[in-house]
Amino acid sequence: MHIKRLEINTIILYNLHMKLRALKVSGIDNRSVKYIALFLIIIMIFACVACKDNNTVIDIDSTPSPTPLPVIEVSQPKNYGMLAVGETFTAGLLFSGEVVTTGRVVDAELNTANWYDCIQIAANDSTLAAVTKEGRLLLTGKQLDFFTPALEWSGLVEVALGANHIIALTEQGHVLAYGDNTDGQCDVSEAYGIVNIAAHGNTSLLLKDDNSVINLGKHREIPEAPENIKDIAVNDSVVALLLESGTVLVNNSEYAIDEKAVSIKAYGDTLAAVTEDNTLVCYPQKYEVKSAKVSDIAIGNGNLAVLYKSGKVKVYGNDEDRQCETQNWHLRPAKNFKGYYTGFAIGTPISEAEYILSEALGKDIIIKKDGAEISEGTVFTGAEVYDGEKLLGKIVLYGDINGDGKITNSDMLLLSKHISGAEKLTEDILLCAADTLHYVSGNGEMNEEHILAIADQATGKSHIKQYVFDPYEEKLAEAYARNPDVVGWIQINRTNIDYPMLYGDNYYYNYYTIDKKESELGSIYPIYDRFQKNNVVAGHNGRVKGLMFHMLHYIQDNKQDLHIYKNRIVGVTIYKQYMEWEIFALYETGRHEPPTTLKYNISRMRDWTDEQVQEWINTQLARSEIDLGIDVSPEDTFLTLYTCGDYHISDTTNQARLYIFLRRVG
């Protein structure tokens, strides 16, 4: 298509003429219109003069496109477990590719329930990001909406977060950026040949394949590297370069690290390194850290997280928001309570499984089948873990019932036959593999939901977790062996409440123990037989010995402590699923309270409208003995705990009760 500039100017003048006529019609006086017209004509004359050759042609079709950036191949990082820390949360990337979190993000959701096949994670104060094996970006936290355009990125191998910007490294060595560009931290359009990235505040740091470092954003002096750079890190005070030899170069002598290192991390005013002997050094030294056998570290605003070679995690620093509650985490494969090694991703090569188990166990691990060493293939249910000639245990992949290392229709058929009784699974290891929902830890009690989990995994609709996080798993297994009516466990920190929950018809466990012996104390029990909008758990107020739900009154007496987030959280396994709940209201009623209050408070909310649920919420908040400032909505799911009031008398008309209301947060 060819267009002459003179023709363009003529078209523009005609359009201006029509606009001026419109101005005249709209009521602007003629004199004003004339002045405007004269002014515009003068501008156009200058424009025409500037084009000395008015017949110059603009060839739109042949306008040069931007020169493509050079391409290199950047491989995805190996995932052997990884940590990320925000201001009020900690995240862990498991070897199996799933992501777990503890703590919270204020005024936002922190949800990684459906994150799997992840290879890397990163965080800033309020947001968590991950890259998947498919090269896609996952986000959760306060800046999710702000960073939403970045969710369209693909072909990623690494992500990093600054204060208000996000950058990602692609498999072609290019960098993508989105967010605040006040200091030029997102000016990555000309970046190529990049092999590593880091971000902090208003800074982006890029390592090129020619061993140079690009600083974008807030200016930093880059140390001169005499040899190949292995890793980079940046914070408010220092730029650090980790050389292939293990030497750490810094542009601030206050952060000098003398030890040889294998990895470095920086955040805020802190620089930390894992040394060649797997110990930890940290500047400034703010934490009393057990530094032996360290595998990975992450630094946040006030916290330091350490991943040990065993796969266990310890977080040091502020714990007001439960960001240090990682004592039950295993980011690397480990034995479950039944003695099987779990935590492997489907498709994990035998060689990688041997490496990660050797790291975690501190032994030279060999994986065998029927006693013979395997050199190729992937892990599978029944794979044998050996230390030399000693069998340490076997591997379980949840959902891989036939032991081929995959989850397919064949596994679904085996489970269907087991449930129908046509062909029962008898081996304990196969029962464990069939427990796809981790409800009962492989005791043989399966249902159609377990089959559906395999079907959904086989079709890519959902994912069977290979990592089981239930801090009460062993307690539940023991309790279930005593009585199959066990449906959960409740433990409340700072109290002696640590009991199994049992369900029986007609409030059976109000009067009977776990061993079905009649007792005034009874048991802790849910009043409904399945999960509801409002899940209600009751227990006697054992005042004399301080047992059962008596110490709910301790929470009431010390309610000011509930202003600290971690004191409001209760971990409960209910209907065989572990969940975390946050207290948002509590109050005690007197003996003359109308009986309708109990019925209303413990309603399962079946068929309630949002307006009715909101009215229920408003009632509990209005009556609460403490205002915790928690935003509760009809979209929440609830847990209601109740027991007798401390002045309750055994009288059918006495309505003295203590109610504690919680909403699900994890």
The closest of 60, 21, 57 to 37, measured between CA atoms, is 21
Using alpha carbons only, how large is the chain's radius of gyration in Å? 32
- Asked whether the predicted pLDDT for residue 588 surpasses 70, the reply is yes
Categorize the per-residue pLDDT at 554 as very low, low, confident or very high, splitting at 50, 70 and 90: very high
Q: Where does the pLDDT of residue 142 fall: very low under 50, low under 70, confident under 90, or very high at 90 and above?
A: very high
- pLDDT tens digits for 495-533? 999 999 999 999 999 999 999 999 999 999 999 998 999
Contacts of 142 (CB under 8 A, 6+ apart): 105, 106, 107, 108, 126, 127
Considering the chain, tell me which residue range(s) the CATH 2.130.10.30 domain(s) occupy.
Answer: 82-220+286-317
Mean pLDDT estimate for the chain: 87
SS3 296: strand
pLDDT at position 271 over 70? yes
- The answer to whether the bond into 284 is cis (omega within 30° of 0) is yes
Residue 370 sits at the vertex; the CA angle it makes with 363 and 364, to the nearest 5 degrees, is 10
Check if the beta carbon of residue 129 is closer than 8 Å to that of residue 167.
no
Two structure tokens written together for 293:
């056998």
Higher-scoring residue by pLDDT: 440, 477: 477
Burial 14-43 (b: 16+ CB within 10 A, else e): eebeeebeeeeeeeeeeeeeeeeeeebeee
Burial zone of 45 (CB within 10 Å; 0-12 exposed, 13-18 middle, 19+ buried): exposed
pLDDT at 113: 86
pLDDT at residue 96 above 60? yes
SS3 at position 571: strand
Residue pointed to by tokens 């959760």: 140
Cα angle, residue 305 at apex, residues 253 and 242 outer, rounded to 5°: 40
Q: Are 486 and 462 in contact (CB under 8 A)?
A: no
CA–CA gap between residue 292 and residue 274 (Å, rounded) = 10
Give the separation between CA 72 and CA 65, rounded to whole angstroms: 21
Mean pLDDT score, 69-98: 94
What was the pLDDT predicted at 439? 63
H runs (alpha helix) in 444-511? 448-458, 473-482
Query: Where along the chain do the CATH 2.40.260.10 domains lie?
Result: 473-664
Structure-token pair, residue 380: 């599978």
Which pLDDT score, from 0 to 100, does residue 648 have?
A: 57
Looking at residue 288, its pLDDT comes to 75
* CB-count burial class (<10 Å; 0-12, 13-18, 19+) for 222: middle
Average of per-residue pLDDT across 399-406:
96
Q: Is 153 helix (H, G, I), strand (E, B) or coil?
A: coil
Q: Assess contact for 167 and 186: CB atoms under 8 A.
A: yes
Whether the pLDDT of residue 45 is over 90: the answer is no
**What's the CATH number for 82-220+286-317?**
2.130.10.30
* pLDDT computed for residue 444 by the predictor: 52
Q: Residues with Cβ < 8 Å from 2, sequence gap 6 or more?
A: 57, 58, 59
Average pLDDT over residues 609-617: 97
β pairing state of 541-542 and 547-548? antiparallel
> For the ranges 5-14, 332-341, 398-407, 511-520, which has the lowest average pLDDT?
5-14
Residue 272 has pLDDT above 70, yes or no: yes
How many CA within 13 A on the CB side of residue 274? 19
Tokens representing residue 395 in the block: 């591997």
User: What is the pLDDT, as a whole number, of residue 437?
Assistant: 84
Identify which has the larger pLDDT, 39 or 564.
564
pLDDT tens, 46-78?
444 444 444 433 333 444 555 688 999 999 999
pTM, two decimal places: 0.83
- Percent of the chain having pLDDT more than 70? 88
Percent share of the chain, pLDDT over 90? 72
Lowest mean pLDDT among 193-197, 464-468, 564-568: 464-468
Q: What pLDDT shows up at residue 438?
A: 78
Residue 250 confidence (pLDDT) above 50: yes
Tokens of 592: 């003359």
Please give the pLDDT value at position 20: 45
* Core vs surface per residue 73-108: b (16+ CB within 10 A) or e: ebeeeebbbbbbbbbbbbbbbbbbbbbbbbbbbeee
Distance CA 245, CA 257 (A): 13
Q: Kindly give, in sequence order, each residue whose CB lies less than 8 Å from that of residue 53, ignoring residues fewer than 6 positions away.
A: none
Q: CATH fold of 473-664, please?
A: Sortase; Chain: A; (2.40.260)
264's enclosing H/E stretch is strand 261-267
Query: For residues 342-361, b (16+ Cβ closer than 10 Å) or e, as one string?
Result: bbbbbebebebbbebbebbb
